[in-house]
Amino acid sequence: MNRTENILRRSKLTQEEIVYLLGLQGEEKTLLFEHSARIKEEAVGKRVYFRGLIEFSNICMKNCLYCGIRHDNAAINRYSLQEEEIFAAARFAFENNYGSLVLQSGEVETGNFTRQVEKVLRGINRITGGKLRITLSCGEQDKATYQRWHDCGAHRYLLRIESSNPALYEKLHPRDEFHRFRRRLDCLYSLQEIGYQVGTGVMIGLPFQTVEDLAGDLQFMQQFDIDMVGMGPYLEHAHTPLYAHRDQLLPREERFQLALKMIAVLRILMKDINIAATTAMQAIDKLGREKAIKVGANVIMPNITPGKYRDDYLLYQNKPCTDENAEDCKTCIEARIALADNEIAYGEWGDSAHFTKKGQGTRDKGRSGRSWQTA
């Protein structure tokens, strides 16, 4: 048995072993992908859950150095969807049996924003009789705000750690009090303590990032006992400060392959979590999301944001599907999932099996041991 086969027999891996897997090429890489596909099938089946994605506002108070909708980028139109537009999109998801919604926005920490989100959550629950699971992705907020949104019916939250290496995190963000690694981590703990299904993730192929950093990211997800993960390649945007470091980037195809390997290894490490096939995968490879599904992803987020706003929610350039509407996305993704020899789990919430098995989330004693050290 060679080293790859030997490592693939186990699910507890050292950082060095993860680095080894992330470096595989050729036939050895195929072995990894076949193995992760088998594990996915055994643990969560060949089924893909839909979450209708509503990018409801691109107004952001932050200035993450990689992001196209950062506050200081004056070259975009800022928008915030009207409540009725959000409700119409939610109705589309409901009528098309999507099971879940993701409401995503830039980060705004104000009482007004908190109340607006509350109203939207209540409205969606009223319209759909509480039958859609709602995920929020609105950045860092205080614990009381997260609690209020949870009380209004949001039961999942996505907050990517972006990088679990504090030194790298600092290089990707302005060095001020609004962009602290420690705060991001505390937010993740708060979400867990409240009882959300918690999702995190990282960008792959960032300038300054090493393969050891990426292995550390996977170990972070495991130690944090995360329920859901969305991760994809970093994609440069000309109107951001990080663009100045584009000469350090891996070629796009290599970033994509690294992202596929990250998904495959994560599926081996955390067999029953939900892993998204992200849009950024498709920005590099036309079949990117299908490939992600084949090697381990089991969630896809068809965009249901009204078409006219999509060009203004460009976190990165060359984002696919901005000229489409919700119906186009649905038809296209259905075909793609069939191509990946998986089926769509229509009408199901698709909660993270990992979360469900843990019982009532963090209310279980000892779950959130705050084991992750930042030092």
User: Using CB under 6 A as the criterion, which residues of the chain lie in contact with ligand SF4 when the complex forms?
Assistant: 60, 62, 64, 67, 69-70, 106-107, 139
By CB neighbour count within 10 A (0-12 exposed, 13-18 middle, 19+ buried), where does 358 fall? middle
Angle of CA points 8, 227, 36, to nearest 5°: 20
| Smallest gap from residue 162 Cβ to ligand SAH (A) | 5
Among residues 57, 73, 137, 209, the one that binds ligand SAH under rule CB under 6 A: 137
Task: Report the 10 Å Cβ neighbour count for 213.
Answer: 18
Closest CA to 298 of 42, 36, 44: 44
Residues between 220 and 239 with contacts to ligand SAH, criterion CB under 6 A: 234-235, 237
Residues 5-64 that bind ligand SAH (CB under 6 A): none
Q: H or E segment at 281?
A: helix 279-284
Sign of the four-CA dihedral 54, 232, 182, 74? negative
Q: Shortest Cβ distance from residue 56 to ligand SAH (Å)? A: 11
Least distance in angstroms from the C-beta of 213 to ligand SF4: 18
* Contacted entry of ligand SAH, ligand SF4, none for residue 70, CB cut-off 5 to 8 Å set by kind: ligand SF4
Q: Which lies closer to ligand SAH via its Cβ, residue 190 or residue 342?
A: 190
Q: What is the distance between the alpha carbons of residues 94 and 306, in angstroms, rounded to a whole number? A: 16
Which residues from 303-322 bind ligand SAH, rule CB under 6 A? 315-316
- DSSP of 179-211, one letter per residue? S-HHHHHHHHHHHHHHT-EEEE-BEES-TT--H
CB closer to ligand SF4, 65 vs 345: 65
Residues 96-115, interacting with ligand SAH (CB under 6 A): 104, 106-107
For position 134 contacting ligand SAH by CB under 6 A, the verdict is no
Query: Which of ligand SAH, ligand SF4, none does 309 bind, CB closer than 5 to 8 A by kind?
Result: none
CB 136 within 8 A of CB 103: yes
